[in-house]
Amino acid sequence: MNILITNDDGIYADGIRELAKEVSKIANVYVVAPESQRSATGHSITIHSPIMVQESYVGENIKAYSISGTPADCVKVGIEAIFKDINFDLVLSGINNGPNLGTDVIYSGTVSAAIEGLVLNKPAIAVSYNDFKVKSEVYAEAAKHVVDIIENLKDKLDLLNDCILNVNIPNMTVKGCKITKLGERKYDNVLEERISPFGQRYFWIGGDIRELEQDEDSDITCVNDGYISITPVNIEMTNLEKFERLKDVKIL
Sign of the C-alpha dihedral, residues 8, 14, 27, 66?
positive
pLDDT of 189 higher than 90: no
- Residue 135 is predicted with a pLDDT of 93
What value does the mean pLDDT take over residues 189-200?
Answer: 92
What value does the mean pLDDT take over residues 93-119?
Answer: 96
- Residue 207 is predicted with a pLDDT of 79
pLDDT of 212 higher than 90: no
Per-residue confidence at 98, pLDDT binned at 50, 70, 90?
very high
What pLDDT, in 10s, does the model give residues 11-39?
Answer: 999 999 999 999 999 999 999 999 999 99
d(CA 41, CA 108): 6
Query: How much helix, strand and coil, in percent to the nearest 5, is found in the chain?
Result: 30, 30, 40
d(CA 7, CA 99): 13
What value does the mean pLDDT take over residues 93-116?
Answer: 96
Nearest to 114, CA basis, from 160, 159, 158: 160
Long-range CB pairs of 59-62 (<8 Å, 24+ gap) are: 59/17, 59/20, 59/21, 59/24, 61/24, 62/20, 62/21, 62/24, 62/29, 62/30, 62/31
- Residue 188 is predicted with a pLDDT of 84
What value does the mean pLDDT take over residues 213-241?
Answer: 94
The mean pLDDT value of the chain amounts to 95
Query: Full-prediction pTM beyond 0.85?
Result: yes
Percent of the chain with pLDDT over 90: 88
| SS3 (DSSP) at 247 | coil
